[in-house]
A and B are shown apart, each in its own frame.
Chain A
């Protein structure tokens, strides 16, 4: 590594970074205003947030367009490619750690805080003095804590929609790999079919997850307010869902880029980066399926 450079490449000046900083600031400034707004007075924050989000989308579009154009003009050498690969790998690692925080919270709550509130082990005094009638367990009607915040609820059974979604995501990992092999073999039609299938499977997953959420809210009374069970359930699955959404959009963009002939069998980092991301989202789901739904 770091050895083969006959010529270094340093990209030209670009206004996209500063545009990105401005629109990111606009987005969070609007969001913070909105969150703190008095009821019925959310207009300003909402407007700023909307402008910010549109700006962020525009920025991504513009920045990636300029990078794609530079890539197509052949200005990126092997070293740039390696830097991009490292960037994507470490970005995915940072995402793993982000989910790690939420998984860590889930494990701590299930192993320690809820049992302690129920009087076992370490936290017996809280149990005795505050909530001596709380029978701690994880899941329906107890996972929302001693005050049963959010009221009685039931959990989503693992072997229904979640199992289906697991199969969907696993198949989508297979299809994206077939597309990758087709790309390396240079079969464009096959890539388009299997990459398209991957996008569809991603969308199908999101569709079922939306169904699951609606059912949780309407039938099971499992909501974001259902104590810490609801908190961990919706934040873990919700952040995962956001990542699937992002991944599906990225896959769709790659599909269009394949259609336009942007990739060849030696030069397709964009495809691989998105494929890595998709596998990462898949692995996170397996963790969720195991620890949120089954156990």
Chain B
């Protein structure tokens, strides 16, 4: 077989392979692997969501209602681990897998087999993690941050640490692949500063992943050796320090929260110009703002630890460095609004979620600024105010962006239009109930209700009940999402056009809908006015 003459080695050049195992387990196709990632993330979203429903059920009324505190602690820990590592991150990787090659005019990812391995590690890693719930002694209960000495008390630690190692390997390989794809596989003429903002956001996110996932691996390895091999990293009696773990963990953890939001910024920067029918305002500023946020993310980690007793100089440094992040983030929010300013907008579902993102994520950003103030944080630390803050940036931030992206690109993936009515039902119910769910938690936190407790003072009863009702209805609303997805993929009669959206620009809209199994076998010719950001103003 002569390889030089063919563009690739697929036996079946024009379509997907027939066998199920062949197609899904041995895949080297970025679209199939992207689909696997997205379906996996959706399953994990519902598993993590069911944990959240149990948590809100327990907190519906004061007093222990449904479960023992130890199980409650397992739920909060598992909810976070599953949502962060199982839902949000794989969903972004899935979107990157599907869209980056289409957006830069590449036939596939740079390292397709490693791509498949990156995905297939995940189901096994989560089997390992979730299996601890069914073991004697239960799952991890020390919080997703796994602070010692609490985390060292559970026998599940070994399983959790190895699961984190596997997820780390998966993330690093996925990130290497994305960097190599973006730097090495672009079609001729797709210069770096012509790339869509989504591609830029993933390039920078991938760098963050490679830089910090190994640090997390190191931190949990020290936990493992402290528990099972008699080392003393986190034992003051042996000269160690539990605060050391927090430093290493948050050196990973803070870039990690930007790993979960930068691709969301990229998505919003694709959607807003499409439905505003205007190029994005300040393309270069958007790119440089993402890069600035990524840089700053490395020098703010200790703002998670203001209350552990850091030296005063450290508290002041980390306070100011943290507040500095508001500058590039403000640039982004300003530019999204400026893109919409004076434009001819329509509000299809992706745009609704994008606008919802801009408003609600900004609320999460503002509460973040409050938390960044050291004296204020002494009051807010470990209260429901923190819970409200990070759910605003992760649910109405990261998750809303993922849902927006799903509606935006779904017609391109399936070839069918989704039901706009039900999608709008999904949006309006989500946006109402998510606020009923999380907004009262600000008040609870300011009033002093601590996080991670199954029982609370009766003074907090009303807001908790409101929050729980919002939670149940937000959870139920997501079933509409499933309905819309299944209907669109398998039953919808309404075919999508190639361009799908009137104002859509960029290479991904030049291929047919649904996108054929192989695209851009030959590099496309780039016309600058076909690109969303082709004419960059200097």
Contact = CB atoms under 8 A, between A and B. Distances in A.
Given A11-B112, A12-B28, A13-B28, A235 B228 contact: no
Chain B CB within 10 A, most for which of A29, A99, A122 = A29
B229 interface: yes
Nearest to A97: B214
A31 B158 contact: yes
Interface in A131-186: 143-147, 149-150
A87 interface: yes
A79 interface: yes
B248 interface: yes
A132 to B, nearest CB: 14
Contacts of B342: none
A259 B108 CA distance: 35
Contact of A227 (B25, B155, B239, B251): B239
Interface of B: 3-4, 6-11, 17, 22, 25-28, 106-108, 110-114, 116-117, 120-121, 123-125, 127-128, 155, 158-159, 162-163, 165-166, 169, 172, 175-177, 179-180, 183-188, 190, 210-215, 217-219, 221-222, 224-226, 228-233, 235-241, 243-244, 247-248, 251, 309, 311, 518, 520-523
A208 interface: no
Contact of A97 (B128, B210, B236, B237): B210
Nearest to B135: A36
B97 to A, nearest CB: 14
Interface stretch (A102-110, A214-222, A270-278, A285-293): A102-110
B4 to A, nearest CB: 7
A264 interface: no
B521 A3 contact: no
A221 B7 CA distance: 62
B22 A13 contact: yes
Interface stretch (A112-120, A199-207, A247-255): A112-120
Contacts of B116: 14, 17-18
A128 interface: no
A146 B240 CA distance: 10
Contacts of A8: 7-8, 106-108, 520-523
18 contacts: A7-B4, A14-B28, A18-B116, A21-B117, A24-B124, A36-B158, A74-B3, A94-B211, A98-B217, A99-B218, A101-B251, A104-B215, A109-B233, A143-B239, A149-B235, A228-B238, A228-B240, A231-B226
Interface in A5-32: 5, 7-18, 20-22, 24-25, 28-29, 31-32
B370 to A, nearest CB: 26
A98 B214 contact: yes
Sorting the interface of chain A by its residue count into under 10, 10 to 19, 20 to 34 or 35 or more gives 35 or more
A235 B184 contact: no
Given A98-B215, A147-B238, A28 B166 contact: yes
A114 B243 CA distance: 12
Interface of A: 1-3, 5, 7-18, 20-22, 24-25, 28-29, 31-32, 35-36, 73-75, 79, 82-84, 86-87, 90-91, 93-95, 97-102, 104-105, 108-109, 112-114, 116-117, 121-122, 126, 130, 143-147, 149-150, 224-225, 227-232, 234-235
A146 B236 contact: yes
Nearest to A59: B117
B219 A101 contact: yes
Given A10-B10, A104-B247, A147-B238, 10 more contacts: A2-B186, A7-B7, A18-B117, A32-B158, A93-B211, A108-B244, A109-B241, A113-B239, A116-B241, A231-B231
B238 A2 contact: no
Contacts of B247: 104, 108
A113 to B, nearest CB: 4
Nearest to B219: A101
A229 B221 CA distance: 17
A29 B28 CA distance: 27
Given A12-B9, A32-B128, A93-B211, A104 B162 contact: no
B3 A73 contact: yes
A79 B235 contact: no
B12 to A, nearest CB: 10
4 shortest A-B CB distances, which residue pairs? A101-B218, A145-B239, A75-B3, A28-B162
B142 to A, nearest CB: 16
Contact of A2 (B107, B179, B183): B183
Nearest to B209: A94
Contacts of A100: 214-215, 218
A147 B232 CA distance: 11
Contacts of B188: 2-3
A86 B25 contact: no
B240 A144 contact: no
B28 A10 contact: yes
A32 B158 CA distance: 5
Contacts of A29: 128, 162
Given A10-B7, A83-B111, A235-B225, A36 B155 contact: yes
Given A14-B26, A35-B158, A75 B111 contact: no
B206 to A, nearest CB: 9
Contacts of B214: 94-95, 97-98, 100-101
Nearest to A225: B230
Contacts of B522: 8
A17 B114 contact: yes
B159 A32 contact: yes
B112 A18 contact: no
Nearest to A31: B162
B236 A21 contact: no
Contact of B26 (A13, A25, A36): A13
B241 A108 contact: yes
Contacts of B231: 224-225, 228, 230-231, 234-235
Chain B CB within 10 A, most for which of A74, A99, A101, A235 = A101
B239 A90 contact: no
Nearest to A150: B238
Contacts of B239: 109, 113-114, 117, 143-146, 227-229
B418 to A, nearest CB: 30
Contacts of B106: 8
A149 B162 CA distance: 27
A14 to B, nearest CB: 5
Contact of B241 (A9, A86, A113): A113
Contacts of A232: 233
A121 B311 CA distance: 9
Contact of B165 (A9, A28, A91, A230): A28
Given A25-B124, A227-B232, A86 B215 contact: no
A231 B10 contact: no
B127 A224 contact: no
A98 B113 contact: no
A87 to B, nearest CB: 5
Contacts of A121: 311
B108 to A, nearest CB: 5
A123 to B, nearest CB: 8
A109 B166 contact: no
A9 B184 contact: no
Contacts of A21: 117, 120-121, 123-124
Chain B CB within 10 A, most for which of A17, A100, A108, A122 = A17
Given A17-B113, A17-B116, A109-B241, A5 B211 contact: no
B33 to A, nearest CB: 10
A122 B311 contact: yes
Nearest to A101: B218
